[in-house]
Structure 1
Amino acid sequence: MSPTSHLPSAIGSPITEDDIANYLANTPDFFERHAELLAAVQLTSPHSQRAVSLQERQATLLREKIRMLEQRIMDMIRNVNENMVLSDKLLYWARTLFLNTDVQALPQLIADELADQFSVPQVGIKVWGVAPQYASCEFATGVSDDAKSFATSLTEPFCGVNTGLEAINWLPEPQAAVSLAILPLRGLPETNGAHGGVAPAFGLLVLASPDAQRFASTMGTDFLARISELASAALSPLR
């Protein structure tokens, strides 16, 4: 079969760019037989209006791909470093909680250490269903049944803008809260019950920032979920 057998008859049907592309793809030795064409081809540079050779254009494209790969590698390294920093802060925060011997001071300690370790402008916390000796403490009062139901309805931390939820009032400066992260506090999963194996919430952690993007609705919540789990475990002596 001759090289031109891949091309349609120009009389029967006009040759299209796709026909030419298919021909070249199916005839890899074409440029071996016509090597002079490679040197003669002139293309517009992607970075200027001057004409460059095919080889120079390919080299430019390869350099651009290398630059993009280097950027991706740097982003990956930066993410790894940031994750390591967060992990260290989480470990330090958890260690502080579990070394604490004053059970009644635990809720405020959780809030203060979160604000300090993770640079959160405002943190609020409420816990209910506590033992009788803690029922009159500030952290265990002022929570409506609606707020408790809302906490139980959360299957994962909620992130988004301030929409005036009751939990906002637990913050030192509610009017300064623009974006929020609301973390349900709950015990171990139930084996049977009305909540499908998920234990009812016994508290809420509220993180707030004046920055609308700090706790955006599109952010991942895995790290916040770990904070919720650790805080829930640390608070278990109150119940």
Structure 2
Amino acid sequence: MSESNTASLLALDEDLIAEYLESNPDFFHRYPELLIRLRLPHGERGSVSLLERQLELARNRHHNLEEEITGLLSVAAHNEQVAKACHQLGLEALAATSIDQLIARLGEGVRIHLGMEISRLVLCSRLAETQHKALETVYARLEKGPYFGRLTEDEKRMLLGHSPQRAESLALMPIAKDGKLLGIWVIASPDAGHFEPDMDALLISQLCDLLALRIATFSHGRLR
């Protein structure tokens, strides 16, 4: 018999054995001694019994489940913190009586409620034509919504208006109404991994809608 035929028969036998064991879950109840006698290769201990291997797998599954639950709890706690911060920032925006007060309250609110020291609300109406041109790459990043991640040094300098050494990762939130960009809300972190591209932007986008309404109101001169 050729080696290829032998290999095929062995594979077939293995499949049959696996199918039989799956179809007869009480097999090891009838032959409990096999749980101890059968030895399985183990990378660290040479070989272990089938029962020991099952216990090890169960411990690993339990450990992985614990890690998954811990991760979910951490995400839930973070989301709760962000939700509370967005609520407070919304109240600050509603309490502002001028565009300058809105900018000041927003910056202070970010520091207090989010613990972020670097933030700025960039108003498109206050930018010169040359500044708009310099920000074309930033506008392109915001075409699909908020942007989280890293920027070039020139982009950071244009948005923050100062030396950007401490701004390693940034969140850029477009403030728009009726399809028109009114401004860009920038929050920066010295931690390069703080703002990541896959971050959820739902809560912050809802707050940006409120900010857009406030900015539009001030721009139309309804409140001074």
Q: Is the 8 A contact 1:148 1:203 kept in 2?
A: no
**Distance in 2 separating the partners of 1:208 and 1:35:** 62
Question: 1:108–1:125: 8 Å Cα contact kept in structure 2?
Answer: no
**2:209 aligned partner:** 229
Letter aligned with residue 213 of structure 2: A
Residues 27 and 215 (structure 1), Cα distance of their counterparts in 2 relative to 1, 3 Å cut: closer
Contact 2:169 2:189 in 1 (8 A): yes
Q: How does 1:76-87 map to 2 (within 5 A)?
A: 76-87=72-83
Deviation at 1:173, TM superposition (A): 3.6
| Aligned twin of 2:11 | 18
Q: Which residues in structure 2 correspond to 1:54-73 (within 5 Å)?
A: 54-73=50-69
Contact 2:135 2:155 (8 Å CA) reproduced: no
Contact in 1 for aligned 2:89/2:110 (Cα 8 Å)? yes
Change (3 A) 1:68 1:145: closer
| One-letter amino acid of the structure 2 residue matched with residue 162 of structure 1 | L
Deviations 1:137-184 (A, max 9, x none): xxx355633257666642311223231345634526433222222221
Quote how far apart the aligned CAs of 1:208 are: 1.8
- Read off the aligned partner of 1:39 and give its amino acid letter: I
What is residue 186 of structure 1 aligned with on the other side?
A: 176
Instruction: Please say if residues 122 and 172 of structure 1, whose CA atoms lie closer than 8 Å, have aligned partners that are also in contact.
Output: no
Check whether the contact 1:157–1:181 (CA below 8 A) recurs between aligned residues.
yes
Number of residue pairs the alignment of both structures matches: 210
Match of 2:222 in 1: none
Q: d(CA) in 1 for partners of 2:92 and 2:3? A: 84
Q: Answer yes or no: is 1:74 the counterpart of 2:51.
A: no
Is the counterpart of residue 205 in structure 1 residue 192 in structure 2? no
Deviations 1:164-215 (A, max 9, x none): 345634526433222222221111x3xxxxxxxxx12011122222222222
Structure 2: distance between partners of 1:10 and 1:34: 35
- Gap change, CA 1:14 and 1:97, over 3 Å in 2: same
**Superposition RMSD on alpha carbons, in Å?**
3.2
Shift of 1:81: 1.8
Question: Is the CA contact (8 Å cut-off) linking 2:86 and 2:203 kept in structure 1?
Answer: no
Q: TM-score, normalised by structure 1?
A: 0.72
Cα distance in 2, alignment partners of residues 117 and 11 from structure 1: 70
Check whether the contact 2:39–2:48 (CA below 8 A) recurs between aligned residues: yes
- Residue of structure 2 in register with 1:175 after alignment: 164
Question: 1:107, 1:235 within 8 Å by CA — same for their partners in 2?
Answer: no
Q: For residues 45 and 237 of structure 1, what CA distance do their matches in structure 2 show?
A: 70
Contact map agreement 2:148 2:169 (CA 8 A) in 1: yes
| Whole-angstrom distance in 1 between the partners of 2:101 and 2:3 | 91
Q: Could you tell me which runs of 5 or more consecutive residues in structure 1 were left unpaired when the two chains were aligned.
A: 1-8, 130-139, 190-198
Which of 1 and 2 has greater Rg? 1
Question: Which letter does structure 2 place at the counterpart of 1:178?
Answer: E
Q: How far does residue 217 in structure 1 lie from its aligned partner after superposition?
A: 3.7
Aligned to 1:159: 148
